[in-house]
Amino acid sequence: MRSVSSIADAVADVATTFSGKLLDPTDAGYDEARRVHNGLVDKRPALIARCCGVADVVDAVNLTRKLGLEVAVRGGGHNVAGRATVDGGLVIDLTPMKGIHVDPKNRTVRAQGGVTWAELNRETQLHGLAVTGGVVSSTGIAGLTLGGGVGWLMGKHGLALDNLRSVQIVTAEGKTSQASKDEEPDLFWAVRGGGGNFGVVTSFEFQLHPVGPMVMGGLIAHPFDCARDLLRFFRDCTVSLPDEHTIFGGLIHAPDRSGTKLAVLVTCHCGSLGAGERALRTLKQFGSPVMDALGPMPYCQLNSMLDPAYPKGALNYWKSSFLRELSDEAIDTMIECFARCPTPMGQLLMEHLHGAATRVPVNDTAFPHRSQGYNFLVLCEWIEQADNDRCIAWARETYAQMEPFFASGRYVNYLGDDETGEPVAAAYGPNYRRLQQLKAKYDPKNFFRMNQNIRPLA
């Protein structure tokens, strides 16, 4: 570690050409810039490099290496484990990099690493086009895509990473590179699921698809005492969904923060409005819902409808794993656990994977989870620091009680910062060894390690 004066000298040299801002703890704006979406994460970097372009990212990488600091990379800052920041290190902050260019003729979009899904959707929907994005629109395109990209369109159009055509990336040596199926194909394979392990992705080129602008979707809620019937109905519905139709199920609290517990289905049908109306009619006719917000809506509205439930600064602790199957015993255990949830913002969710996302061969991308099924998520969220211990304890206890129903796989984007065992190996399964080999090729010194880290193969 260098002295404060030598750090200041190195920063001063870079600042003469740096287009963005280099913030240290004494600068105005530092406190706001250091905060990520999860309020439970409270780290203080030595320096935040707010980059305006690729040259700034190159300078930030080189500066970090010169100073011998640890480095974290921030796109949207949503990662629940807080991997977008680092105590005492340097944060490469892509937030100012908001460039988006849509090519409606070729149905592609090129977007920089600081873009959120709300921003990308707004531009692509001008042309009636979209790509699978996150279900919370304030999430950044970068982290979600690099780790997988579960979203409403994945049954029809695959995961976000399945729609990548190319990326521009800055490597650990401070070199820029283009990666695609034809150029640096090994690197392109690795970044499609390998997270931030292989460099700073400064821009993404996606294939777009005709979507909307109106789709059918929304949320329908039932009383908590009907949860068992609703979740069994959810299981039955998802056995044979058409590609155009995605349904997530779960147990949540009423959005008014009253603490009222509900069982819900959240859905999107991206096919014709007529087909969507028929598909949603089945959901509407089941049981006696206490809230029915299903119907036609703009795709941008659907993709942001859950945003209010995940405010920036709320305290979050998540645990997640894929299920072997959604058995009656698993459903009953979920209901028993949720009855003890201590926070009116807590949720138990199941994201259903099917269709195009499951028809990609396991070794075609680094992301290996290509079987139809459910990703189970304990999403514990609260506001007051005084509630930390009991909320975290509930999430851990719920996860432990659900463990008998888990498959071996984990979704890398949901891994926490206190995992035991080999969670990263579980996240990549049969692709982990190849990822380790490519990590040794592209980042042998593990410069990019403030992530769900893939250790280079010795």
**What class does CATH assign to 214-414?**
alpha beta
Say if pTM beats, i.e. exceeds, 0.85: yes
4-93 CATH fold: 3.30.43
DSSP secondary structure letter of residue 356: G
Of 103, 110, 159, the closest CA to residue 129 belongs to 103
pLDDT tens, position by position, 434-445: 999 999 999 999
pLDDT tens, position by position, 226-244: 999 999 999 999 999 999 9
Place of tokens 């055509």: 165
Q: Is the pLDDT of residue 420 over 90?
A: no
Of 166, 271, 282, the closest CA to residue 216 belongs to 271
Where are the domains positioned within the chain? 4-93, 100-211+433-442, 214-414
CA 136 to chain centre: 9
Confidence band for 386, pLDDT divided at 50, 70 and 90: very high
pLDDT at position 2 is: 55
Q: What is the mean pLDDT of residues 74-85?
A: 94
> Dihedral of CA 130/136/141/142: which sign?
negative
100-211+433-442 CATH fold: 3.30.465
Confidence band for 8, pLDDT divided at 50, 70 and 90: confident
CB 93 within 8 A of CB 18: no
> Token pair of 250, please?
């779960």
Instruction: Give residues with Cβ within 8 angstroms of 291, minimum separation 6.
Output: 219, 220, 221, 262
Confidence band for 421, pLDDT divided at 50, 70 and 90: confident
What single string gives the DSSP state of each residue in 57-109? HHHHHHHHHHHT--EEEESS---TT-TT--TTSEEEE-TT---EEEETTTTEE
